Amino acid sequence: MKKFKKLILISLNEINFDIVKKYCEKYNLNSLNSIINNNKNKFMTFSEKEYNFLEPWIQWVSVYTGLAAKDHKVFRLGDSVDTINKQIFEEIENLNFKVGAISPMNVSNVLKSPNYFIPDPWTKTKSDGSFWSELISKVLNIAVNENSKNKLNLTTIIYLILIFLRFVRIKNYISFVLLFISSFKKNGKNLYF
């Protein structure tokens, strides 16, 4: 039997790679640095030239379907649920690989049996149905909407803490707590160079 390698698709949205490289150097982010500098495993894609088709929620559908915007016809957040475009996720699943996705922008979950699937907060599609995926989906949706009002309710904060305790490695707790506390200083300006 042929052994397959894992395929990991990391979707970085609206990233300034010059700033990412500075962070990699300053904070010794070796894993991210190797992804950025490994040209044999990195693919650049090009799509639309018309300005009104350059929105990320249009571009990501092009990446996931291999279709130009005029062909996939998805022009607003959440519109992917109303299309029948075949996405890379189904293609990979049809090759008998397990597929997991965390917040892929404007993706409709039409997988038969996802290993895990947490939709992005703007797309009304189902999660994989597990307790944690349902909770994370709900909390992300609430947090995104409440964040625009600059407030989070107590229930959402409690859910965020539970998710944090469940998925963050104990050895990283202190680093994340310190980062959280420092984010209140200088209105987050300390997160930039």
Question: Running along the chain, 193 residues long, what does each successive block of 10 average in pLDDT?
Answer: 70 79 83 75 68 87 92 92 93 92 94 95 94 94 76 85 92 88 64 42
> Is 27 contained in some domain?
yes
pLDDT recorded at residue 192: 43
- Which two tokens mark 111? 């997988």
CA distance 187 to 183: 7
CA distance 117 to 175: 27
> Is 69 contained in some domain?
no
pLDDT recorded at residue 188: 46
Distances (CA, A) of 135 to 60, 65, 70, 104, 178: 25, 28, 35, 17, 25
CA 10 and chain centroid, separation: 8
Domain that holds residue 37: 15-44
> Is 107 contained in some domain?
no
Total domains, the chain: 1
> Is 78 contained in some domain?
no
> Is 108 contained in some domain?
no
User: Computed from CA positions of residues 25, 27, 29, 30, in that sequence, does the dihedral angle turn out positive or negative?
Assistant: positive
> Is 26 contained in some domain?
yes
> Is 32 contained in some domain?
yes
pLDDT recorded at residue 28: 81
> Is 39 contained in some domain?
yes
